[in-house]
Amino acid sequence: MLNLVIFGPPGCGKGTQSARIANKYGLMHLSSGDLLRNEIEKGSDLGNHVKHYVEKGFLVPDSIILKKVYKNTIRFINSAGIIFDGFPRSLVQAVMLDKFLNKKGLNLNMVIHMLVDRSELFNRLTGRAEDSGRKDDTEQIFRVRMRVYEKQTHCLKEYYSAQNKILQVNGMAPVEEVSAKIANAIDYYREKNEVFSDVI
């Protein structure tokens, strides 16, 4: 299996890139945000429970997201691989994911860290708000999500760097260019079993 994680600040393009990579390499796209929004839309108990966290821009409790991700990972275990999009989002989640995968005899191969300037993120999200209809795509909630990212998620960089798994990608380039660079790095990894150390 080829198991990847993609993370970065809100609006960095991880959803778009995940879909493109999943398509190119036949991977399963596991988006924690989509899983949660789906539950909210259905009006399930879980959806009603997480609604306020998601709409206010806070992380939902680890126990909820972990259960959901484990269940879906098991569903995808015989696939070509999984791209985890939006998960893990904290150190606890990262450690738990490693433990879970190890128990199943699996591991993460590469962790894609998307780099985008704050002003660009803000422009993208306010632009997206009109189409996405997402309640968390407002200026105020964007600020909360940014703060949550900096406080709880950005530390994943150190965690995965220590495992030599971090691929840093300049996410300011056009979508196709970013995808091509990531694909290059994936092909390189498959050939050499090594992650590019430079920012691409």
Contact stretch for ligand ADP (CB under 6 A) within 20-28, 29-37, 96-104, 184-192: 29-37
Applying CB under 6 A, which of residues 20, 113, 145, 165 lies at the interface with ligand ADP? 145
CA 119 to chain centre: 20
- Shortest distance (Å) from residue 135 CB to ligand ADP: 10
36 near ligand ADP, rule: CB under 6 A:
yes
- Between 53 and 196, whose beta carbon lies closer to ligand ADP? 53
Q: How many CA atoms are closer than 13 Å to the CA of 51, on its beta-carbon side? A: 11
User: What CA–CA distance (Å, rounded) separates 124 from 131?
Assistant: 11
Length of the chain: 200
- Shortest distance (Å) from residue 45 CB to ligand ADP: 17
Cα angle, residue 146 at apex, residues 143 and 149 outer, rounded to 5°: 150
Please give the helix or strand (H or E) that residue 112 lies within, else none.
strand 110-115
User: What CA–CA distance (Å, rounded) separates 143 from 138?
Assistant: 9
57 near ligand ADP, rule: CB under 6 A:
yes
54 near ligand ADP, rule: CB under 6 A:
yes
Residues 88-107 that bind ligand ADP (CB under 6 A): 89, 93
Contact stretch for ligand ADP (CB under 6 A) within 53-61, 111-119, 158-166, 188-196: 53-61
CA nearest to 86, candidates 134, 160, 16: 16
DSSP 28-92: EEEEHHHHHHHHHHHT-HHHHHHHHHHHHTPPPPHHHHHHHHHHHHHHTTTSSEEEEES---SHH
Tokens of 74: 């098991």
- Shortest distance (Å) from residue 126 CB to ligand ADP: 13
- Shortest distance (Å) from residue 116 CB to ligand ADP: 11
60 near ligand ADP, rule: CB under 6 A:
yes
Contact stretch for ligand ADP (CB under 6 A) within 85-93, 94-102, 156-164, 182-190: 85-93
Residues at the interface with ligand ADP (CB under 6 A): 10-11, 32-33, 36, 53-54, 57-60, 65, 86-87, 89, 93, 136, 145
